[in-house]
């Protein structure tokens, strides 16, 4: 939708215009009943215009019964005569209303009045991600990861209901309130992903593909059938844009842009922003893979990878912004906002845009999202044959029933303490034990951070641990001088741990023995430690690894044999180890590798490189101070033209498609 003309200055307001309301501009509204109204729409009082463009207008309204302000998204009468357009408009409402998630904007009501369909939505504080990026195009890495992770969480919920959004872009992402919590907007193009046929309703009368070209997946740009992985491509474009400060695909016109989306592969965002870690570079490029098969399979998978990235980035701390602010106001430097200087989430552009300078407000410590249903009155959650029914007994003796969709999980908390959990995710593979609490408390006593199974919350204090028994899932003690073999016995029996991050500690082989029962490990960080081949033997039955860091250790080829058969491995760090071609052969089945560090591995030669030819997702390979030759590099480059290779002969950039 197009952006309306902007006034010369002034702050946006969320009140009706002064003077006589311009009701003549909107003859479809029912007559005003109070002086501050433009008119009425259904049961809503219409107080002012928030935005306009394309086929609709957005009003600031009030629900007189509930005494709450709302945004009313209305289809203009001249377009309401088009049955296809009305169907798309109503489908947006139904699609969005079906997705009940903290990171998807709520639909209060869908109605029609005097031949005009409309949607009532919350009046959110904040601004769109699009406007925030206009003020400062490059986002601090940790903040970009957090925003995209929350987007992925909302998409995962939509995808679980069979919906593909098909128009993920910064303009459809709202950053709400002080924390800039993500709300996904505008499901106007969303469809159920069930048909393999080309969707005629996804084309205009002239055959143009609906959507936003710069953020479309290649399959969407070509009018082909799409599934949830199309949204993941768009998510990758948004992530790239925030990290690099520019779009990955650019051209002088729409035709050129669509061709670029289909045919060109951009350089990784890390080439534009040195603060982007290699693992995040790799994830971004996998999201932007031309073939949907090469992208992450689900939004939930993306969430998990971004959670790991957040831990590595230490994103629980306030972000210190050191980036220039060429456009004046830096939206990433402060989270303060009041209704008087905020905009409203509507899916349309607002009529006016703030050009004032807000007061500087210290950023609060980030509060991590609690995946929970917080009930004011704790009641009973019953598991019925057709799903979960939550029954709440109110103070006045009445009961409220909430039916939870199949497959969903309900978590009840009070004062951030979990009181109960119901649903599929509540089931754990094995019962919780006292060992998990003991281990968590030990890690926290050393200044580490942990996560427990079924929660996204990063825990830094024993007081934040759940009161009920839990399973420990992630432990981060990296660069902690207090960590050694002594005391790690606390982790005996913690067999649900998936991530152990102990780079830069004094842990050795004796300490690793205590993690022998951790068969579900996905990520392990042991670089710059005392571990050797003997210690790695504890992990020979762990085949779920996605990330392995062993740089600057005494590990040899014999120790690497413990990782044979790790087919999900994506990130391998072996810098300055005694790895040779023999050791690399242990990873011949790890064809999903995306980034490999072999700097300083002098025993690696052209023969060892040959096995990487089958790693078609490999985007970065570091080979300085190895035994490889120009011939070996040239042969590898032919097999992997999209891989960036750094070796003693220089840097070989990916080949542009």
Q: Looking at residue 42, which CATH number applies to its domain?
A: 3.30.200.20
* pLDDT given for residue 216 in this prediction: 92
Query: Looking at the domain assignment, is residue 62 inside a domain?
Result: yes
- Say yes or no to pLDDT of 563 above 90: yes
- Say yes or no to pLDDT of 562 above 50: yes
- Asked if 51 and 162 sit in the same domain, the reply is no
> Which of 271, 303, 319 is the C-terminal boundary of a domain?
319
Active-site residue, selected from the candidate residues 167, 186, 281, 557? 167
> Which of 361, 391, 425 is the C-terminal boundary of a domain?
425
- Say yes or no to pLDDT of 318 above 60: no
* pLDDT given for residue 571 in this prediction: 87
- Asked if 440 and 305 sit in the same domain, the reply is no
- Asked if 179 and 54 sit in the same domain, the reply is no
- Asked if 477 and 574 sit in the same domain, the reply is yes
Q: Number of folded domains in the chain?
A: 4
Three-state DSSP state, 524: strand
595-606 per-position pLDDT tens digit: 899 999 999 999
- Say yes or no to pLDDT of 24 above 90: no
- Asked if 84 and 154 sit in the same domain, the reply is no
360-370 per-position pLDDT tens digit: 223 322 322 22
Task: Find the DSSP H helices in 372-520.
Answer: 434-445, 509-512
- Asked if 142 and 278 sit in the same domain, the reply is yes
Query: Looking at the domain assignment, is residue 328 inside a domain?
Result: no
Nearest-angstrom CA–CA distance, 605 and 503: 27
Query: Looking at the domain assignment, is residue 366 inside a domain?
Result: no
Percentage of the chain lying above the pLDDT 70 cut: 73
Query: Looking at the domain assignment, is residue 145 inside a domain?
Result: yes
- Asked if 106 and 135 sit in the same domain, the reply is no
* pLDDT given for residue 521 in this prediction: 92
111-145 per-position pLDDT tens digit: 888 888 888 888 888 888 998 999 889 999 999 99
- Asked if 299 and 415 sit in the same domain, the reply is no
Query: Looking at the domain assignment, is residue 567 inside a domain?
Result: yes
- Asked if 411 and 465 sit in the same domain, the reply is no
Please report which confidence band the pLDDT of residue 323 belongs to, taking 50, 70 and 90 as the band edges.
very low
- Asked if 116 and 52 sit in the same domain, the reply is yes
- Asked if 401 and 518 sit in the same domain, the reply is no
Whether 281 is catalytic is no
* pLDDT given for residue 337 in this prediction: 33
* pLDDT given for residue 53 in this prediction: 61
478-506 per-position pLDDT tens digit: 888 889 888 898 998 898 999 998 988 99
> Which of 122, 145, 177 is the C-terminal boundary of a domain?
122
Q: Please, which residues bridge with residue 391 across strands? A: 380, 401
| 646 neighbors 597 (Cβ within 8 angstroms) | no
531-550 per-position pLDDT tens digit: 999 999 999 999 999 889 99
- Say yes or no to pLDDT of 615 above 70: yes
Query: Looking at the domain assignment, is residue 360 inside a domain?
Result: no
239-266 per-position pLDDT tens digit: 999 999 999 998 877 777 888 898 899 9
Query: Looking at the domain assignment, is residue 347 inside a domain?
Result: no
Is the pLDDT higher at 628 or at 158?
A: 628
Where residue 172 sits, what CATH number does that domain have? Answer: 1.10.510.10
* pLDDT given for residue 91 in this prediction: 72
Please report which confidence band the pLDDT of residue 166 belongs to, taking 50, 70 and 90 as the band edges.
confident
Query: Looking at the domain assignment, is residue 339 inside a domain?
Result: no
- Say yes or no to pLDDT of 208 above 80: no
| 511 neighbors 487 (Cβ within 8 angstroms) | no
Nearest-angstrom CA–CA distance, 216 and 230: 8
Domain that holds residue 407: 380-425
Short-list 370, 314, 362, 367, CA closest to 335: 362
- Asked if 142 and 210 sit in the same domain, the reply is yes
**Mean pLDDT value across residues 603-611:** 93
| 139 neighbors 243 (Cβ within 8 angstroms) | yes
């Amino acid at each position: 939708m197009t952006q309306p003309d902007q006034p010369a200055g002034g702050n946006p307001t969320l009140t009706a215009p002064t003077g006589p309301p311009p009701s003549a501009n909107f003859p479809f509204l029912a007559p005003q009943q109070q002086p501050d109204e433009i008119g009425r729409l259904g049961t809503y009082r219409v107080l002012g215009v928030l935005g306009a463009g394309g086929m609709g207008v957005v009003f600031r309204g009030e629900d007189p019964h509930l005494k709450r302000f709302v945004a009313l998204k209305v289809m203009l009468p001249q377009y309401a005569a088009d049955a296809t357009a009305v169907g798309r408009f109503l489908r947006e409402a139904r699609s969005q209303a079906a997705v009940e998630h903290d990171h998807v904007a709520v639909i209060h009501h869908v109605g029609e009045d005097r031949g005009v369909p409309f949607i009532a939505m919350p009046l959110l504080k904040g601004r769109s991600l699009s406007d925030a990026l206009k003020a400062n195009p490059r986002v601090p890495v940790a903040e970009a990861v957090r925003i995209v992770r929350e987007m992925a969480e909302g998409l995962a919920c939509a995808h679980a209901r069979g919906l593909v959004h098909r128009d993920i872009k910064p303009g459809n992402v709202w950053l709400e309130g002080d924390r800039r919590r993500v709300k996904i907007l505008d499901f106007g193009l969303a469809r159920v992903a069930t048909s393999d046929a080309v969707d005629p309703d996804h084309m205009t009368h002239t055959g143009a593909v609906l959507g936003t070209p710069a953020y479309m997946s290649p399959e969407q740009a070509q009018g082909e059938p799409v599934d949830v992985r199309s949204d993941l491509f768009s998510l990758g474009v948004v992530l790239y844009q925030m990290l690099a400060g520019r779009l990955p695909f650019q051209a002088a016109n729409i035709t050129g842009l669509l061709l670029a989306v289909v045919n060109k592969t951009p350089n990784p965002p890390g080439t534009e922003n040195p603060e982007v870690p290699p693992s995040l570079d790799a994830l971004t490029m996998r999201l932007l893979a031309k073939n949907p098969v090469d992208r992450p399979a689900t939004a939930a998978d993306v969430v998990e990878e971004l959670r790991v990235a957040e831990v590595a980035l230490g994103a629980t701390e306030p972000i210190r912004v050191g980036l220039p602010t060429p456009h004046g106001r830096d939206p990433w430097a402060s989270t303060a906002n009041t209704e008087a200087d905020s905009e409203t989430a509507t899916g349309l552009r607002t009529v006016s845009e703030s050009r004032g300078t807000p007061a500087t407000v210290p950023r609060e410590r980030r509060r991590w999202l609690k995946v929970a249903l917080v009930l004011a009155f704790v009641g009973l959650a019953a598991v019925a044959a057709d799903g979960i029914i939550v029954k709440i007994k109110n103070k006045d003796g009445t009961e409220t029933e909430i039916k939870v969709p199949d497959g969903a999980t309900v978590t009840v908390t009070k004062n951030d303490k979990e009181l109960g959990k119901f649903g599929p995710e509540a089931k754990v593979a094995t019962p919780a034990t006292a060992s998990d609490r003991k281990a968590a408390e030990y890690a926290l006593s050393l200044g580490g951070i942990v996560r427990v199974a079924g929660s996204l919350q990063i825990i830094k204090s024993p007081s934040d641990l759940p009161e009920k028994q839990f399973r420990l899932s992630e432990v981060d003690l990296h660069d902690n001088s207090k960590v050694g073999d002594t005391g790690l016995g606390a982790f005996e029996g913690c067999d649900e741990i998936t991530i152990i991050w102990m780079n830069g500690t004094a842990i050795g082989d004796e300490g690793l023995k205590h993690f022998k029962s951790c068969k579900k490990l996905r990520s392990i960080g042991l670089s710059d430690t005392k571990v050797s081949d003997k210690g790695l033997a504890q992990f020979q039955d762990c085949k779920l690894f996605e990330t392995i860091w062993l740089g600057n250790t005494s590990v040899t080829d014999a120790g690497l044999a413990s990782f044979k058969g790790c087919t999900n491995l994506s990130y391998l760090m072996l810098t300055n180890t005694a790895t040779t071609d023999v050791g690399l052969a242990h990873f011949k089945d790890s064809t999903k590798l995306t980034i490999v560090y072999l700097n300083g591995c002098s025993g690696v030669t052209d023969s060892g490189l040959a096995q990487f030819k089958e790693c078609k997702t490999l985007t970065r390979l570091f080979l300085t101070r190895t035994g490889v030759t120009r011939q070996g590099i040239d042969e590898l480059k032919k097999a992997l033209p999209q891989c960036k290779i750094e070796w003693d002969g220089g840097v070989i950039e990916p080949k542009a498609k």
